[in-house]
Amino acid sequence: MGKVILTGDRPTGRLHIGHYVGSLRRRVELQNSGEYEKIFIMIADAQALTDNAGNPEKVRQNIIEVALDYLSCGLDPAKSTMFIQSQVSELTELAFYYMNLVTVQRLQRNPTVKAEIIMRGFAENSEDEAASNKKGIPVGFFTYPISQASDITAFRATTVPVGEDQEPMIEQTREIVRKFNSTYGETLVEPEILLPSNAACLRLPGTDGKAKMSKSLGNCIYLSDSAEEVWAKVKGMFTDPGHLQVSDPGKVEGNTVFTYLDAFCRDEHFGKFRDCFVGKKASFTFNSLDEVKAQYRAGGLGDMMIKNFLNAVLNDTLEPIRQRRKELEKNLPYVYDVLRKGSQVAQAEAAKTLAAVKHAMKIDYFEKGVLEELLKEQTEKFK
């Protein structure tokens, strides 16, 4: 059997460069590798609603933003099926059956859900200040890892390319698959997670150096930011607080500018953007990021110079994305059409799995051939 990819994003905002290095860039590579029989990319609006129940308009508005980001990054509807989660009702049905295979205690141990409960202020007895309003945990939110298992298994995905924070979800999916298969017979496919290979890409920090790039923290560089916006954000980035004078030795570790360079810089950039290292007071010739780092550590290399270089490196990736997005923004009917057609393809695929699941669970009474058997058996019993 061929390899199948399923992955997706919640439509709660435009996608940023953390999404790009954490997953999007990889998806495009995988798509173009020709190694996968099928690729499904899902806009997880139903999951987004689990903690945005009161804000459906936000989710609705961001569907198109995420779709535009997908297409402008190079996801190609001829090779990847892009679809909207809520339009495939089979996914919800699957989740309901999987719920029987998961305990409340197991859900409570999911570290990503745990962190989100505190972040969203849902916790009831947490010491965390964010929890002081004691909102309680919506059941739908609490069970979203189960819904995510449905997303993955519905498409018989073998491979789930996601960021590190999704690891607990994939682990839970694998447990559900094993439990299902051992209870009802071999039906579902156990998926594997595919994490970014480069440490900087695992979790790209925000421009303020905070652990995560997040809309609520206002520390994101968006794929759809203009060149001016990107430069303003790069200029304001955190570096090494101890690097006061250009001549001071600087720290590379924990220096966000260098983390971004680790994620985005390629050797070809040193030839292409040689001018960035030509200054009034000092000039350098670098051929690799290691050489830049060595100079920064030794001192003499100013923050403005590395920020200039980072800006050029970022825009080298972002400019083509921006251009494609501009074109696509003029053709929104096409974008919605991609999603509508993709949702139809996805639904047909999920329906096959749902039928197999219902068959395995013996809740397929009226399927072809089943009723005849059932009648025979029951007639015998009531004779």
Residues binding ligand TRP (CB under 6 A): 6-10, 44, 47, 148, 151-152, 160, 162, 166
Q: Closest approach of Cβ 176 to ligand TRP, in Å?
A: 13
Toward ligand TRP, which CB reaches closer, 192 or 248? 192
Q: Which is nearer to ligand TRP, 162 or 276 (CB)?
A: 162
Residue type, 77: P
* Residue of closest CB approach to ligand TRP: 44
Q: Is 122:135 a contact under the CB 8 Å cutoff?
A: yes
Report, in Å, the least distance between residue 211 CB and ligand TRP: 16
Residue with Cβ nearer ligand TRP (59 or 237): 59
Torsion of CA 105, 106, 112, 113, to 10 degrees: -50
Smaller CB distance to ligand TRP: residue 6 or 346?
A: 6
- Of the two residues 155 and 273, which places its CB atom closer to ligand TRP in the complex? 155
CB of 145 to ligand TRP, least distance (A): 9
- How far, rounded to the nearest angstrom, does the alpha carbon of residue 158 sit from its chain's CA centroid? 17
Asked if 342 and 88 touch (Cβ cutoff 8 Å), the reply is no
State how far the Cα of 185 lies from the Cα of 383, in Å rounded to an integer: 31
Q: Do 339 and 84 meet the contact criterion of CB atoms below 8 Å apart?
A: yes
| Least distance from ligand TRP to the Cβ atom of residue 7, Å | 4
Q: Toward ligand TRP, which CB reaches closer, 10 or 307? A: 10
Token pair for 281: 């007071």
Residues 6+ apart with CB under 8 A from 205: 211, 212, 213, 256, 259
- Nearest CA-CA partner of 237 in 222, 250, 255: 255
Instruction: Give the DSSP H or E segment for 375.
Output: helix 370-382
- For residue 22, what is the DSSP state? I
CA dihedral 80, 86, 89, 94 (to 10 degrees): 80
Give residues with Cβ within 8 angstroms of 253, minimum separation 6: none
Nearer to ligand TRP, 84 or 301 (CB): 84
Name the residue among 36, 332, 59 with its Cα closest to residue 7.
36
